[in-house]
Amino acid sequence: MPITLGDIPQQPRDEAFALTADFKADNHPNKVSLSAGVYRDGDSKPWVLSSVREAKRILHETTDLDHEYLPIQGLDSFLDAAKDLILGKEAAATANAVSLQTISGTGANHVGAAFLGQKLQPKNVFISDPTWSNHHLVWTVGAPNVTQRKYPYYDFSNHTLDFDGMMSTLEAEAEENDVVILHACSHNPTGADPSREQWQSLARLFKQKKLFAFFDSAYQGFATGDVEADGWAVRHFQQTLFGECSAEENPSSAPPGMCIAQSFAKNFGLYGERVGAFHLILPRQTQADGAKSELLRLVRAEISNPPLFGARIVQTVLSDAKLRAMWENDLRVMSSRITKMRSLLRQAIEEDPNSGDWSRLESQIGMFTFTGLSENQVLRLREVHHIYLMNNGRISLSGVNEGNVKYIAEAFNEVSRQ
């Protein structure tokens, strides 16, 4: 009997969006959302960056702006600014790079997976364990021919980066041309990042084994408040893999390439505008035209061409010295509030002498922290205390504020005793 559309099994709800919906439907006066990866101010309200407000004002007062279609690759002035931001101006000017505007970081990840699955055809894609949950779905849909492998990333017992496990697995199991997903900074969901020395060791390994580095950069500037520091790992990889060898003269000496999925949701607060970029860096400039033509073909088939307004906002901010300075101050405001909430939450939890060591709240970085709470404890937080977080125990620190930090700490300690 032929299969009908009615025979399609129902997929489970996406956890992140389901939690947001359940939180909104909850009428409890003390409810708290620690699940959504969005910045909130001290009153748990959405915050429009001052630099973004000013850019919008400028755009709305510019009388000769139109709403015509962008080219398939997107807004070129935005792409130049985005590439400069992640690679640095000097490297961006000399790198053999192909850039496309995408539907935020998810679109960049998907375009990259589809392109690499079709053209590079790696045997494996290695993804950190744990990772942003959408990485697996993106590669399942975009590159079903590529085997997904996990590499150790987090030591759950010590609440620290498992760098030795990461290195030993990639060294022993990754093969030439395999793709490895790396979080540029502020690892989601653990908040545990490699040190600069560890990034240097990784870059040497990638060069030696000719692995393809796929950076997911969603938090540049948001992690530490410093866009240069947060872009360091990507820039070091680009220089190590392609900046110090003449791939044009000796192509066999270089890895197959590297790429970056770049999101402007978090660091510009443009969540709903879906502004992103994909950058493919190749060993030789002679490879660029063919690669670009294939990427344009993928974009044409999926979205035809990207949206305009959000890209104009980012380009306006990054191209104006005054607005750029305003934006960098906005980043410091957001990152410093997150850092303060980490400290306050740790202090509030550890007021209970039986709470144990919560130093991980301050040693980890960025929006997210792995609490170490079990799925049963997370469920109790939701059902008894109306506190919403991911089943794996990840919390978004942006949902913590001075008004609810004590309530959250007491709830965490209560479920930890169960």
Enclosing H/E stretch for 323 = helix 321-350
Specify whether 132 is catalytic: yes
Backbone angles phi, psi at 227, to 5 degrees: -65, -30
Specify whether 216 is catalytic: yes
Catalytic one among 199, 266, 292, 327? Answer: 266
Residue for token digits 């169960």? Answer: 418
Q: In sequence order, which residues have a C-beta less than 8 Å from that of residue 123 and are 6 or more positions away? A: 146, 147, 175, 177, 178
| Backbone φ/ψ region at 389: left (φ over 0), alpha (ψ -120 to 50), beta | beta
Catalytic one among 47, 132, 139, 327? Answer: 132
Catalytic one among 162, 178, 193, 216? Answer: 216
In this structure, the chain runs to a length of: 418
Burial 268-296 (b: 16+ CB within 10 A, else e): bbbbebbbbbbbbbbbeeebeeebbeebb
Give the separation between CA 306 and CA 300, rounded to whole angstroms: 10
Would you call 124 exposed, middle or buried from its count of C-beta atoms within 10 A (0-12, 13-18, 19+)?
middle
Which residues are designated catalytic? 132, 216, 266
